[in-house]
């Protein structure tokens, strides 16, 4: 029998493309429908590893990607929301959650793929509501997933009569490690274990591969999916690298254990298939689910050991931006307003230290263009927003208690300071966006403009740093110095603006560079204003 290679290839590649688009679209639609609650689910439910596993399963089902959950988790570890031990629970859960896609594929909906696509498109194009659009996107992705699978299956059908393919599957039956390697490589290339398992389900249902050869490929798919997180952790923090390597160790160890028991596992899957009368796709889905559950049960008691091992493999201290407050103990609110105010003040000083660190990172991003400085600034901005909410809530709760006149004045001062520090974060976030615009649109500043910006940054960072010291030490001398520096910042802004107009008139500088420059110095000037607000309260006491 002659095989139409072009048809086989086109249907397979096209089907794979539509399948991958379907998974991405479905995940994005579900994620948007769930809103920003995913991060909250992870943050709130990871107090112990067991809940971490559950959170990992739920989030992975929602976003249809175990790699996506791992990447989210890495971000939370980075932000100090989650310890490595908690992250390991989530990653284990993500592995179980990812099996849901295989079960969805096992429900034979290939015949209804096109009407499902039509419903999704209808919801996407004929409704203005964002909520309906998100649901439409998820349904469209769901339909595309089945349509892509159907195309892939019909493309792969002729493979079973191909001699070279029969020999390969025979070798895979005899040498299970070969199957693992093939599964790993293929998932590494496609970057989605759901897609490679979908292909495996197609091959198995077409009778092109036997169960004994299919199972090791399935295990390999699980190893291949860890590569995404490893790639995401390149150049990232120590915590990110550790979380990514936990994923690798977990899947490698699980595969090794179950390969040793392959005979038993194959018999178990055979028994499942016959007793539950499963179709071929569902058989692979049950095998995948059983493998991941068994892996979870075996390794769950060793979370501590995994954390220890990965800390040894990737040594070093990690720079963590702590989002959570350290000093706000609610017990002081009822007991002593004075002590509660001291607690709030200590937290605000911490917040102030973050604000000038964020400014330093923003300046480094401007001069080096290195993305890690931008990421660090944005993490600090996130921490400032979170601390602002928590400290304000604490102070609002405290305002209900009776306070002396002195404490009342201090309370007002602290409320104002929190707002000013939070606004500093907003301004350096604006500057980050301007630098992003400058980089992506290849906007070049002249050497003189760059030097002016660096000078103004240095002065602004020094002013913010000193204003936080003023708040901490109540030093009038330093407060006067801050006011003086702020006047210098104002003068600088006016002077640099004039110089810049001259440069533009002389044709040394483009219009877009002008906008970027003027907006950055204007944001720095506003940061100076907030620094003075923090200090002036001390002067007028």
What domains are there in the chain, each with its CATH number? 5-313 (no CATH), 330-540 (1.20.58.220)
Q: What is the per-residue pLDDT across 168-192, written as a single tens digit (0 to 9) for each? A: 666 665 677 887 888 888 777 766 6
What is the DSSP track for 325-356? -SS--THHHHH-HHHHHHHHHHHHHHHHHHHH
Q: Please tell me the distance from the alpha carbon of residue 539 to that of residue 541, in angstroms, as a whole number.
A: 6
Q: What is the pLDDT of residue 191?
A: 64
Q: What is the pLDDT of residue 1?
A: 46
Phi first, then psi, for residue 325 (nearest 5°) are -65, 150
Tokens of 182: 């093939």
What is the mean predicted confidence (pLDDT) over 435-444? 86
Q: What is the per-residue pLDDT across 13-47, written as a single tens digit (0 to 9) for each? A: 888 788 778 877 776 777 676 655 666 666 666 66
pTM: 0.61
Q: Give the H/E segment covering residue 500.
A: helix 476-505
Least confident of 62-71, 84-93, 421-430, 511-520: 62-71
What is the mean predicted confidence (pLDDT) over 359-384? 86
Radius of gyration of the chain (CA): 29
Q: What is the pLDDT of residue 5?
A: 74
Q: What is the per-residue pLDDT across 503-518, written as a single tens digit (0 to 9) for each? A: 888 877 777 887 888 8
Q: Please tell me the distance from the alpha carbon of residue 211 to that of residue 191, in angstroms, as a whole number.
A: 24
The mean pLDDT of the chain is 81
Q: What is the per-residue pLDDT across 398-433, written as a single tens digit (0 to 9) for each? A: 887 778 888 888 888 889 899 999 999 999 899 999
Which whole-number Å values give the CA distances from 40 to 34, 35, 50, 92, in the listed order?
Answer: 11, 10, 17, 18
Torsion-angle region of residue 54: left (phi > 0), alpha (psi -120 to 50) or beta? alpha
Tokens of 489: 């910042």
* Helical residues (DSSP H) of 208-302, grouped into ranges: 211-224, 226-232, 238-260, 262-276, 280-299
Q: What is the pLDDT of residue 306?
A: 85
Q: What is the pLDDT of residue 458?
A: 92
Tokens of 517: 């420059």
Q: What is the pLDDT of residue 121?
A: 92
Least confident of 102-111, 156-165, 391-400, 457-466: 156-165
On the 0-12 / 13-18 / 19+ scale of CB atoms within 10 A, 410 is buried
Question: Residue 96: pLDDT above 70?
Answer: yes
């Amino acid at each position: 029998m002659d095989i139409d290679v072009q048809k086989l290839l086109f249907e397979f590649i096209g089907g794979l493309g539509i399948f991958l688009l379907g998974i991405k679209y479905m995940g994005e639609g579900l994620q948007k429908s769930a809103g920003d609650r995913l991060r909250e689910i992870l943050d709130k439910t990871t107090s112990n590893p067991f809940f971490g596993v559950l959170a990992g399963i739920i989030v992975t089902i929602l976003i249809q990607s175990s790699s996506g959950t791992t990447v989210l988790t890495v971000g939370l570890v980075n932000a100090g929301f989650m310890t490595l031990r908690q992250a390991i629970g989530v990653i284990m859960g993500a592995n179980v959650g990812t099996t849901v896609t295989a079960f969805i594929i096992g429900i034979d909906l290939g015949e209804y793929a096109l009407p499902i696509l039509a419903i999704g498109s209808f919801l996407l194009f004929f409704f203005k509501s964002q909520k309906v659009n998100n649901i439409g996107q998820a349904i469209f992705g769901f339909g595309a997933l089945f349509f892509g699978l159907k195309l892939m299956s019909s493309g792969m059908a002729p493979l079973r009569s191909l001699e070279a393919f029969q020999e390969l599957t025979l070798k895979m039956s005899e040498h299970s490690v070969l199957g693992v390697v093939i599964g790993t490589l293929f998932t590494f290339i496609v970057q989605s274990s759901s897609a490679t398992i979908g292909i495996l389900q197609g091959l198995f249902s077409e009778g092109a591969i036997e169960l004994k050869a299919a199972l090791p490929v399935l295990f390999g798919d699980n190893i291949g999916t860890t590569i995404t997180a490893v790639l995401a952790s390149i150049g990232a923090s120590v915590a990110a690298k550790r979380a990514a390597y936990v994923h690798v160790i977990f899947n490698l160890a699980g595969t090794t254990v179950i390969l040793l028991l392959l005979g038993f596992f194959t018999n178990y899957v055979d028994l499942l298939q016959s007793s539950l009368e499963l179709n071929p796709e569902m058989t692979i889905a049950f095998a995948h689910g059983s493998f991941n559950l068994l892996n979870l049960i075996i390794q769950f008691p060793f979370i501590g050991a995994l954390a220890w091992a990965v800390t040894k493999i990737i040594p070093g201290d990690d720079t963590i931006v702590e989002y959570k407050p350290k000093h706000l103990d609610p017990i002081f609110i009822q007991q002593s307003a004075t002590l509660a105010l001291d607690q709030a003040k200590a937290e605000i000083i911490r917040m102030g230290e973050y604000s000038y660190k964020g400014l330093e990172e923003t300046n480094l991003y401007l001069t080096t263009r290195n993305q890690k400085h931008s990421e660090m600034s944005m993490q600090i901005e996130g921490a400032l927003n979170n601390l602002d909410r928590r400290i304000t809530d604490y102070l609002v709760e405290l305002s209900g208690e009776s306070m002396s006149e002195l404490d009342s004045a201090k309370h007002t001062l602290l409320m104002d300071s929190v707002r000013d520090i939070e606004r500093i974060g907003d301004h350096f976030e604006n500057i980050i966006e301007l630098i992003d615009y400058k980089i992506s649109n290849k906007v070049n500043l002249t050497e003189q403009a760059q030097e002016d910006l660096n000078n103004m940054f240095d002065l602004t960072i020094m002013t913010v740093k000193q204003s936080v010291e003023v708040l901490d030490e109540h030093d009038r001398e330093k407060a006067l110095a801050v006011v003086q520096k702020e006047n210098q910042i104002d003068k600088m802004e006016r002077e640099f603006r004039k110089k810049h107009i001259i440069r533009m008139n002389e044709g040394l500088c483009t219009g877009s560079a002008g906008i970027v420059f003027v907006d950055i110095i204007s944001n720095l000037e506003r940061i100076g204003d907030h620094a003075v607000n923090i200090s002036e309260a001390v002067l007028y006491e």
